[in-house]
């Protein structure tokens, strides 16, 4: 393809893909299927690879994010990002209205907007292109997170139309949808790791991650609510939001002009309940004077604008009675106490149970059976007990005492120092742990065995046909076909799924074993470094902790798991069944010992490869990635913006500093 034709086609595809992004993520009105979109994106990627001179940061292909890492630069805000004054009642809103009327003597309108519960962001656009994205920080300066923000598909990289100012700022909120948050927590639970607290904190944490590729995978969303700049082409705030929508920004449909306080109060009342149906978290309503001219006249206090106020919704808090406390055992053996309540309605749903998390929570609340307790939905999602009405406590009520033994198998519970949870150590004889491990083993991200789900595992376990993961591979068609709600087709589907699982790559098999703290990423790291199950099985704790990103907690768990005879036998049986327990020859191809015995530390950012790719090259060629400089460090592989502390230490220990090009020559 000629250069001119390639440029024309690249431009055409970019415009088309951005239009589809806008329809899908902003208007929520997709025009083409996901498959058709992906095919067009692949075509663009191919063209840009063939003509790299036409590749740019605003191309739709760049939204997947690079896996290069860098420290965030601190940037001073051109306009301070002040916080808003809060109001918690209609009376406080009326006081706010009176303060404004004392300053201005003309009629005015308010604009009411939902207050989204996420992470504040300020975007700068120059000539219609995204130039910079900065977090709120302390209000005066924040972190430059432009590379991460580029991955958010509801944020335009190039504005639509041509009637926008040459330069302006727009402010909004980066949010994580409930569906994405719940999916993330389900993955963490499956890996036996600590769950995330709420979508707000997770969105903020994601925005500050140093790997844009991971940020892209988190599917963040955005809503925008305020434009700043010189010579803006509108006087009304509401009008500016409509313009922002035309330019491609996601602006909430739940934004209204209110002519008086009665209309404001009606808006508050409506959304106090209607917000429960929204896909993202909200915690209030922001009320602003509509006229920008009046906003300028009203000005600011030292902390907040005089022309706006945030009305905060009350987290619905109701009282009910604690009937009992039961205990659930997860697949990792963690025992979670659950409060069983007299059913009560909270935030539109009937709540019968609330998690008490661990023994410390029970102790801090001072719970007694029969207590009247206050319950609310934490982050509008998870019911939790927030307090006890001790005035209603009967002297005969007994305090809740955390159990000593497993409620399922009777084994004495243990608690590791520094951890909040109690565990049942009987992992091979405790039914919920065994069934939980089997469910994890067959799950989509592990062995992905078609036809086997939670109900089928329960049925197989209950009938004595499969008491552990190895026995799944001993199942016969007639055994399955004779089960309740099963038949020839379903039985064959399960057997086909088991057979297909024998081709699942080693890293997923290791993840499927359900070793505590070995999630998908750790499993990939271990298999990439140690290549086969024999090496992992025989590795001592000290050897494991030498592997990049493997800490003592993970090393203890892995070494402890393989030290048990029953686990080694489990692996042996799975090997005999035909599962993959070593890296394929294709993945091993290209491994050398060119860097054997060398300890290399990476610092800065690079032109040809990302830091993660360079780390992989070091390991693939027999070298070791280290995290700090010492007398045992062989080289510092330095890119742009190498840390001054590392440079000083390298000189102190006489460690040679090499460039990316010098490093690549070592591998030739």
Residues with catalytic roles: 115
Q: Are strands 110-116 and 255-258 parallel, antiparallel or unpaired?
A: antiparallel
Q: Which residues pair with 134 in a beta bridge?
A: 122, 144
What does the buried/exposed string (b/e) look like for 347-369 if buried means 16 or more CB atoms within 10 Å of the residue's CB? beeebeebbbbbbebbeebebbb
Render 133-172 in DSSP notation, one character per residue. EEE-TTSSEEEB-HHHHTT-TTS-SB-SSS-S-SEEEEEE
Q: What is the DSSP letter of 322?
A: E
Token pair of 197 as six digits: 């607290």
For residue 91, what are the CA distances in angstroms to 87, 261, 285, 300, 517? 9, 11, 15, 22, 51
Distance CA 19, CA 124 (A): 21
> In whole angstroms, how far apart are CA 357 and each of 157, 341, 382, 435, 537?
43, 15, 11, 22, 33
Please name which of 469, 582, 575, 467 lies closest in space to residue 535, comparing C-alpha atoms: 582
C-alpha–C-alpha distance, residues 621 and 373, integer Å? 61
Q: Put residue 109 in one of left, alpha, beta given phi > 0 → left and psi -120 to 50 → alpha.
A: beta
Burial class for 524, CB neighbours closer than 10 Å (0-12, 13-18, 19+): middle
- CA–CA distance, 18 with 596 (Å, rounded to integer): 47
Q: What does the alpha-carbon distance between residue 614 and residue 548 come to, in Å, rounded to a whole number?
A: 13
Distance, in Å, from the CA atom of 198 to the CA atom of 514, rounded to the nearest integer, reads 25
Can you say whether residue 212 is alpha, beta or left, with left for phi > 0 and alpha for psi between -120 and 50 degrees? alpha
Q: Which of 9, 101, 85 is nearest to 47 (CA)?
A: 9
Partners of 350 in the β-ladder: 345
Tokens (6 digits) for 428: 């091979």
Q: What is the 3-state secondary structure (H, E, C) of 20-89?
A: HHHHHHHCCCCCCCHHHHHHHHHHHHHHHHHCHHHCCCCCHHHHHCCCCCCCCCEEECCCCCCCCCEECC
Are 200 and 281 contacting, i.e. CB atoms less than 8 angstroms apart?
yes
- List Cβ neighbours of 272 (8 Å cut-off, separation of 6 or more): 313
Q: At what angle do helices 552-562 and 565-577 cross, to 10 degrees?
A: 80
Q: How far apart are CA 622 and CA 561, in angstroms?
A: 27
Token pair of 350, please? 């009937």
Q: Which two tokens stand for residue 530?
A: 């140690």
Helices (H), 369-487: 431-442, 454-462, 477-481
């Amino acid at each position: 393809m000629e250069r001119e034709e390639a440029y024309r086609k690249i431009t055409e595809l970019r415009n088309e893909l951005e239009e589809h992004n806008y329809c899908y993520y902003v208007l929520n009105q997709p025009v083409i299927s996901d498959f058709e979109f992906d095919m067009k994106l692949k075509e663009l990627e191919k063209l840009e690879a063939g003509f790299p001179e036409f590749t740019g940061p605003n191309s739709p292909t760049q939204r997947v994010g690079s896996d290069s890492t860098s420290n965030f630069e601190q940037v001073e805000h051109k306009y301070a990002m002040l916080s808003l004054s809060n109001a918690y009642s209609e009376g406080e809103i009326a006081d706010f209205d009176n303060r404004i009327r004392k300053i201005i003597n003309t009629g005015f309108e308010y604009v009411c907007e939902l207050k989204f519960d996420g992470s504040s962001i300020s975007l700068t656009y120059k000539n219609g292109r995204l130039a910079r994205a900065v977090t709120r920080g302390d209000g005066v300066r924040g972190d430059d997170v432009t590379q991460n923000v580029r991955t958010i598909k509801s944020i335009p990289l190039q504005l639509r139309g041509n009637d926008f100012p040459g330069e302006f700022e727009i402010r909004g909120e980066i949010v994580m949808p409930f569906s994405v948050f719940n999916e993330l927590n389900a993955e963490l639970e499956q890996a036996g790791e600590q769950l995330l607290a709420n979508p707000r904190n997770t969105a903020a944490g994601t925005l500050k991650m140093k790997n844009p590729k991971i940020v892209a995978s988190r599917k963040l969303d955005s809503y925008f609510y305020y434009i700043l700049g010189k010579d803006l082409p509108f006087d009304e705030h509401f009008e500016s939001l409509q313009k922002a929508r035309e330019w491609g920004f996601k602006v909430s449909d739940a934004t209204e002009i209110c002519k008086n306080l009665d209309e404001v109060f009606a808006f508050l009342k409506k959304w106090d309940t209607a917000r429960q149906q929204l896909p993202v978290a909200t915690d209030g309503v922001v009320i602003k004077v509509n006229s920008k001219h009046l906003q300028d006249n009203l000005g600011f206090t030292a902390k907040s604008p005089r022309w706006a106020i945030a009305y905060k919704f009350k987290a619905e808090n109701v009282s009910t009675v604690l009937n009992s406390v039961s205990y659930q055992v997860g697949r990792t053996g963690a025992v979670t106490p659950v409060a069983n309540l007299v059913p009560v309605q909270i935030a539109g749903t009937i709540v019968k149970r609330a998690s008490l998390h661990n023994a410390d929570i029970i102790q801090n609340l001072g719970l007694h059976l029969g207590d009247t307790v206050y319950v609310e939905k934490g982050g509008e999602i998870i019911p939790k007990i927030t307090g006890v009405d001790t005035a209603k406590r009967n002297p005969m009520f007994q305090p809740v005492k955390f159990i000593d033994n497993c409620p399922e198998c009777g084994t004495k519970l243990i608690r590791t120092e520094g951890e909040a949870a109690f565990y049942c150590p009987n992992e091979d004889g405790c039914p919920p742990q065994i069934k939980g491990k089997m469910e994890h083993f067959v799950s989509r991200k592990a062995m992905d065995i078609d036809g086997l789900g939670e109900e089928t595992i329960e049925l197989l376990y209950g009938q004595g046909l499969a008491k552990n993961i190895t026995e799944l591979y001993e199942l016969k068609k007639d055994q399955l076909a004779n089960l309740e709600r099963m038949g020839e087709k379903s039985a064959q589907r399960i057997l086909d799924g088991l057979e297909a699982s024998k081709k699942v790559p080693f890293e997923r098999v290791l993840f499927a074993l359900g070793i505590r703290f070995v999630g998908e990423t750790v499993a990939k790291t271990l298999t990439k470094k140690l290549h086969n199950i024999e090496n992992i099985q025989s590795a001592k704790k000290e050897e494991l902790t030498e592997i990049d990103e493997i800490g003592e907690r993970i090393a203890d768990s892995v070494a402890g798991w393989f030290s048990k005879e029953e686990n080694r036998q489990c692996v042996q049986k799975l090997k005999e069944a035909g599962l993959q327990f070593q890296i394929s020859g294709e993945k091993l191809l290209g491994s050398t010992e060119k860097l054997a015995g060398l300890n290399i530390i990476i610092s800065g950012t690079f032109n040809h490869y990302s830091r993660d790719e360079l780390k992989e090259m070091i390991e693939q060629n027999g070298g070791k990635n280290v995290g700090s400089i010492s007398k045992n460090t062989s080289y510092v592989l330095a890119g742009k913006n190498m840390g001054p502390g590392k440079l000083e230490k390298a000189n102190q220990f006489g460690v040679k500093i090499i460039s990316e090009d010098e490093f690549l020559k070592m591998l030739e």
